[in-house]
Amino acid sequence: MSRLYLARDPRVAARSLGGEMMIMSGRDSTLFILNQTATILWQAADGATPLDEIVDSRICAEFEVDRCESLQDAESLARELASHEILQISEEPIQPRSATVAESRAESRVGEAQ
Amino acid sequence: MSSLMLEMSAKALKLNIPLSVHLDLTYRCNERCVHCYLDHDDHGEMTTSEIKHLLDEMAEAGVFILTLSGGEIFLRKDFFELLEHARRLMFCVKLKTNAVMIREKEAQRLKDLDVESIQISIYSHRPEVHDAITLVSGSLKRSITAIRFLKSQGLKVIIANVLMTQNMQDYPGVRALAGELGVECTLDPTVTPMMDGNRSTVALTVDHETLQQVFRDPVLVGDVDEFCAIAPKAGEDDLNSAPCSAGHNACYVSPYGDVFPCVAFPLPTGNVRRQRFVDIWRHSDQMNEVRSIRVKDLTTCSSCSHVGTCTRCPGLAFLEGNMRGPSTQDCEKSFARTGVPSANMLNKKRNAAKLVQIRALPALAGASA
């Protein structure tokens, strides 16, 4: 099974507000509020760490969840975020287009689109 | 504003976070618009490193929407360096410009840096009217050329049309121009006093009849009956609400580092050259005073029939002498919209009647001499 790499799409605008991550799409200015899992993926999306390692270190290590199921859910979520051009996904490590600032740790709720 | 953005604005208000900041990079300008409220001399603008440091502080404070304006932003030689820094910090960046310095290369860079929108001032579709307001020959042509470059990059452009005596018949033409260019268009009938309190520019405000015409144009306001309806009696929630976002989840920073509640509210609250941005935001006495005001605290306005729907600007009220008082320009708008005079207008009428009686006194004095 090939590995999936995630990187934050540099075209978005983003800020953590009281533990919730606000993301504005660079494509059409749609605003998203990321849920808890999406926020974890966003924060860990450095282009170099594969998704399975993110799931192991940031999801399975912190929550009592089935690894296989979590990985499937995370991949599905990553693809959804990529469809909104919030994340970039690739089967190869992704070189950052430009540096991004580290966002503060966020806790969130179910993802919503405008 | 989207429901999610409204929700985030309410959350920022609750958490005392400045969600939105308007930063003027310079007051220098290559146009000399007759209604402009700024002094265009450079009295010591912040340097590149000072502005970058401020942007770092603003990101840390939670600012999400950053409006870069002026003066003319492209007169700063470091403009793109500052914009790059702002985007690296992941601000949602909106620009306000006259666009006359934007050509294909600049439009391409703005696209590469993913600015959210570019607002461009257009006063008329007729060069003789627009250029007579900017006092720069050929300015309309250059701004329109720039809009075409920006559109060709797929950028979001908004034409901002300020309505005043010189161009009051031209707003349909500007809207048609916006349609032809494929961009949005806003219309604002408010001409603000200068930041130093000089009110000469206010004389350019359109008359009552023109305001009525604008407020009854369904193309501009949608459902005219709904737009022009008299507000229902204000409830407790209305009276306990904040009058405006200025100082609550938004503020303004001048090119000299002065922080104000809003660009239209020149109450000094601190300076980022001497204090941290977040300290001014959280601890300035002036900012906290503005923040403490609720609609029920407004003298005159709290008992006005328009209180629920009035566009009252606390900055304009401040420039009239009382941040808790009415803004006469907004009273006139409410009157033009509904046909019902505001409490402030009725008070002025009563006071004027008293003055007429006083005026009779010199005649009596002359008769007795």
Complete edge-to-edge strand list for the sheet that includes strand A31-34:
A13-17, A20-24, A31-34, A112-113
pLDDT of residue B359: 56
Q: Which of residues 89-108 of A touch B (CB under 8 A)?
A: 98-101, 103
A76 has a chain B CB within 8 A of its CB:
no
pLDDT at B106: 98
For B98-132, what is each residue's pLDDT tens digit? 999 999 999 999 999 999 999 999 999 999 999 99
What is the reported pLDDT for B243? 87
Please answer whether residues B67 and B23 qualify as being in contact, where contact means their C-beta atoms are separated by less than 8 angstroms: yes
pLDDT band at A37 (very low <50, low <70, confident <90, very high): confident
Of B2, B12, B156, the CB nearest to A114: B2
The confidence score (pLDDT) of residue A100 equals 39
**How far away is chain A from the Cα of B182, in angstroms, using its nearest Cα?**
15
Amino acid at B128: E
Which pLDDT value is given to residue A26? 87
Residue B363 has pLDDT above 80, yes or no: no
Spell out a b/e string for B4-33, using b for 16 or more CB atoms within 10 Å of the CB, else e. Answer: bbeebbebbbeeebbbbbbbbbbbbbbbeb
- Cα B167 to Cα B233, B239, B281: the distances in Å are 36, 37, 39
Chain A CB contacts of B116 under 8 Å are 13, 24, 29
Among the partner residues A18, A100, A112, nearest to B4 by beta-carbon distance: A112
Considering only alpha carbons, which residue of chain A is nearest residue B63?
Answer: A15
Per-residue pLDDT tens digits for B49-104: 999 999 999 999 999 999 999 999 999 999 999 999 999 999 999 999 999 999 99
- At residue B356 the predicted structure's pLDDT band, cuts being 50, 70 and 90, is low
| pLDDT surpasses 80 at B357 | no
Let me know: does B77 contact B117? Beta carbons within 8 Å.
no
Are the beta carbons of B19 and A101 separated by less than 8 Å? no
Condensed to tens digits (0 to 9), the pLDDT of residues B134-148 reads 999 999 999 999 999
Q: pLDDT at position B369, please?
A: 36
- Residues A43, A105 contacting (CB under 8 angstroms): yes
Cα distance from B114 to chain A (closest Cα, Å)? 6
pLDDT at residue B361 in the model: 56
- From the list A11, A18, A31, the residue facing B114 with the nearest CB is A11
ipTM of the prediction? 0.84
| pLDDT for position B349 | 86
The pLDDT assigned to B358 comes to: 56
Buried b (16+ CB within 10 A) or exposed e, B242-264: bbbbbbbbbbbbbbbbbbbbbbb
pLDDT at A112 over 60: no
Q: Point out the least confidently predicted range of A71-75, A82-86, B13-17, B364-368.
A: B364-368
Which chain A residue lies closest to B59 (C-alpha atoms)?
A15
Element (H, E) at B360: none
**What pLDDT, on a 0 to 100 scale, did the predictor assign at position A102?**
36
Does residue B267 contact residue B254 with C-beta atoms inside 8 Å? Answer: no
**Which among B114, B153, B155 is the top mutation candidate for probing chain A, defined by the most A β-carbons within 10 Å of its own β-carbon?**
B114
Please name which of A88, A89, A84, A111 lies closest in space to residue A30, comparing C-alpha atoms: A84
Q: Residue written as tokens 């008293």?
A: B354
Q: Do B117 and A29 touch (CB under 8 A)?
A: yes
* pLDDT per position as a tens digit, B6-51: 999 999 999 999 999 999 999 999 999 999 999 899 999 999 999 9
Tokens at B196, concatenated: 């130093």
Predicted confidence (pLDDT) at residue B354 exceeds the cutoff of 80: no
**Do B91 and A12 lie within an 8 Å CB cutoff?**
no
Name residues whose C-beta falls within 8 Å of residue B345's C-beta, 6 or more positions apart in sequence: B331, B332, B335
Query: Is-contact B330 B312, C-beta < 8 A?
Result: yes
The pLDDT of B282-303, averaged and rounded, is 95
